[in-house]
Structure 1
């Protein structure tokens, strides 16, 4: 096999390893960090007359989950 055909395969496997490591790191992150990020994102109110995620909309979304 030539060196040219091995390079893309190695890059793919290296990228796959990086994605897997990121997934494991996100899974093992402390709960306080992940909840702080989600709270910061959910407390931001949009400006103007745009879509707003209110309690009754959250209730509807919960009712549609399987």
Structure 2
């Protein structure tokens, strides 16, 4: 009675091949994790000597002309 043993063996072979194919298909469809991007350094100020708002002559002149 070697016939039933041969059928079980073939069934396991085909089932294993089908499972391996299914795993390979799923692995091909799963999106890959994106690579981490390099962290950008904060931008340096255009003019390191300047520190924020400055009340210059030009700005004072504007304020004088804008008064209502």
TM-score (norm 2): 0.43
Q: Would you tell me which structure has more helix in proportion to its own residues?
A: 1
Structure with larger Rg: 2
| Larger RCO: 1 or 2 (CA < 8 Å, sep 6+) | 1
